[in-house]
């Protein structure tokens, strides 16, 4: 039994965090020397990043394009609207609450200007945003690779059942599977990276440096709750399903996601329950499966909150130009997110590679609270189920009498 517990990745990460914190308190000098453990992990992820972003975006877009044309467009419009709303809302909440402000090392004495960072400061204008994004496209290979994946996926999807297109889609799926195996191997070293990041932070800045991490977790849960209340509740209501009833209907799957951390494990049960709720069978499969790549609102909330938190920890105040640029860059990088464990962290690294204002080495600190991000995966799952209802209603493919009967039956059981 003890050996089985030690094999748990969550326990390994918690032990690594505890050991790193203990070393930082007892021997700060040696703790600072642990920084290469975190830096090395991030560097390896950076090497894998171009392959991951191209394959995930190309396979996701190709899979979406081969579906029914009209439905595919509506699904894409809905997903990207939710992406923008989740990014904007989390940006607003994090900027208002400033969870990382006033505790981390201040770098505000170093001015941020066009020459040093490539991002202009000053008053907002669309022309400066266009200049920044054009510069990022021309100078940063990751964004070029992502756009190449987007174009490649669109062309493969448009070819539909052509034999070469079918072969290319199969090759993409196999490549994605291989990539996931490699990433899982890399994730085994996450406890070492977390140990190094926590030890270095506490060793250099003292135990008080852990306070912002707790604030970060609190803001993440608050932003996720705000998205559910302000966005998902009205969308579900318009679709004819009160959100709390939907949550009760999906309680088993949501509990599974909470305790395993895997949204993929709940997918079969979610498909069955959404079909039982009156959603069209093919539509349900399309929305829920593509939603695991294109409709990850919880991951989007994490992405913006994390970037702004790291900026605040570094004493960097972003201008309106820079905030809008961050939103647009995050909107693009979010296309590379998946429901795979750790994918949101990889997307965060890709975003920081494009958004040069935030120091890359600071991201390792977030590994210490990665396992506490249950709100992220729950928001992803709940958002996809609401999307299934909304798009089914939009397509007139929702059997409302059946849905009402299911909810009434559930209420009578509770009584």
- Could you give the CA distance from residue 102 to residue 270 in angstroms, rounded to a whole number? 43
What SS3 class is residue 398?
Answer: strand
Residue 329 confidence (pLDDT) above 90: no
- Could you give the CA distance from residue 351 to residue 20 in angstroms, rounded to a whole number? 27
Residue with token string 């009967």: 405
Comparing 128-137, 251-260, 264-273, which segment has the lowest mean pLDDT? Answer: 128-137
- Name, in order, each residue with C-beta under 8 angstroms of 271's C-beta and a sequence gap of 6 or more: 284, 285, 288
> Contact, 288 vs 274, CB < 8 A?
yes
Q: How confident is the model at residue 261 (pLDDT cuts 50, 70, 90)?
A: low
> Contact, 321 vs 414, CB < 8 A?
no
Task: State what percent of residues in the chain have pLDDT above 90.
Answer: 18
Residue 3: per-residue pLDDT: 56
According to the per-residue pLDDT averaged within each range, which of 21-25, 43-47, 150-154, 282-286 is highest? 21-25
Residue 243 confidence (pLDDT) above 80: yes
Residue 116: per-residue pLDDT: 38
Looking at per-residue pLDDT, the higher value among 263 and 246 belongs to 246
Q: What is the mean pLDDT of the chain?
A: 77
Residue 342 confidence (pLDDT) above 90: no
Tokens describing residue 33: 């020397």
> Contact, 31 vs 195, CB < 8 A?
no
Domains in the chain: ranges and CATH: 2-414 (1.10.3860)
Tokens describing residue 139: 């100078």
Q: How confident is the model at residue 262 (pLDDT cuts 50, 70, 90)?
A: low
- Could you give the CA distance from residue 204 to residue 202 in angstroms, rounded to a whole number? 5
| Cα 191–Cα 368–Cα 316 angle in degrees, nearest 5 | 130
Q: How confident is the model at residue 151 (pLDDT cuts 50, 70, 90)?
A: confident
- Could you give the CA distance from residue 168 to residue 176 in angstroms, rounded to a whole number? 12
Residue 95: per-residue pLDDT: 92
What SS3 class is residue 279?
Answer: strand
> How long, in residues, is the chain?
415
Looking at per-residue pLDDT, the higher value among 60 and 236 belongs to 236
| Cα 342–Cα 345–Cα 350 angle in degrees, nearest 5 | 130
- 95-113: average pLDDT: 59
Q: How confident is the model at residue 93 (pLDDT cuts 50, 70, 90)?
A: very high
- Name, in order, each residue with C-beta under 8 angstroms of 146's C-beta and a sequence gap of 6 or more: 53, 54, 57, 332, 333, 335, 336, 350
- 163-170: average pLDDT: 80
Looking at per-residue pLDDT, the higher value among 267 and 340 belongs to 267
Tokens describing residue 251: 């309680």
Residue 166 confidence (pLDDT) above 50: yes
- Could you give the CA distance from residue 385 to residue 380 in angstroms, rounded to a whole number? 9
pLDDT tens-digit series, residues 283-309: 887 788 778 777 889 999 999 999 999
Task: State what percent of residues in the chain have pLDDT above 70.
Answer: 76
Tokens describing residue 56: 């995930």
Tell if the pTM clears 0.85, that is, is over it.
no
Sign of CA dihedral 134, 140, 143, 144: positive
């Amino acid at each position: 039994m003890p050996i089985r517990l030690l094999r748990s990745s969550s326990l390994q990460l918690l032990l690594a965090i505890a050991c790193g914190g203990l070393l930082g308190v007892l021997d700060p000098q040696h703790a600072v020397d642990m920084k290469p453990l975190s830096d090395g992990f991030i560097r390896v992820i950076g090497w894998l990043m171009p392959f991951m972003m191209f394959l995930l975006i190309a396979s996701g877009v190709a899979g979406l394009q081969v579906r029914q044309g009209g439905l595919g467009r509506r699904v894409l419009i809905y997903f990207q609207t939710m992406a923008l709303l989740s990014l904007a809302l989390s940006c607003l909440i994090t900027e208002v609450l400033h969870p990382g402000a006033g505790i981390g090392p201040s770098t505000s004495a170093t001015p941020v200007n066009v020459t040093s960072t490539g991002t202009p400061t000053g008053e907002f204008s669309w022309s400066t945003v266009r200049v920044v994004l054009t510069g990022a496209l021309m100078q940063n290979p990751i964004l070029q690779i992502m756009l190449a994946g987007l174009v490649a996926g669109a062309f493969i999807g448009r070819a539909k059942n052509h034999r070469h297109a079918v072969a290319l889609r199969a090759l993409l799926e196999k490549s994605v599977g291989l990539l996931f195996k490699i990433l899982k191997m890399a994730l085994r070293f996450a406890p070492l990276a977390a140990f190094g990041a926590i030890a270095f932070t506490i060793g250099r800045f003292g135990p008080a440096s852990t306070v912002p991490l707790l604030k970060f977790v609190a803001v993440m849960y608050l932003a996720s709750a705000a998205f559910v209340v302000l966005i998902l509740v009205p969308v579900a209501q318009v679709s004819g399903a009160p959100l709390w009833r939907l949550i009760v209907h999906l309680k088993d799957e949501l509990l599974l996601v909470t305790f395993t951390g895997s949204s993929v494990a709940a997918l079969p049960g979610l498909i069955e329950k959404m079909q039982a709720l009156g959603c069209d069978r093919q539509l349900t499969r399309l929305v829920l499966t593509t939603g695991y790549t294109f409709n990850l609102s919880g991951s989007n909330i994490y992405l913006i909150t994390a970037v702004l938190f790291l900026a605040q920890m570094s004493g960097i105040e972003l201008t309106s130009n820079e905030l809008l640029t961050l939103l647009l860059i995050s909107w693009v990088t979010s296309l590379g997110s998946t429901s795979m464990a750790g994918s949101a962290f990889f997307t965060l690294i890709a975003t920081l590679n494009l958004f040069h204002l935030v120091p890359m080495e600071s991201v390792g600190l977030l590994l210490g609270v990665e396992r506490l991000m249950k709100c992220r995966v729950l928001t992803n799952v709940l958002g996809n189920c609401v999307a299934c209802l909304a798009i089914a209603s939009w397509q007139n493919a929702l059997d409302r009498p059946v849905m009402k009967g299911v909810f009434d039956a559930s209420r009578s059981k509770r009584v």
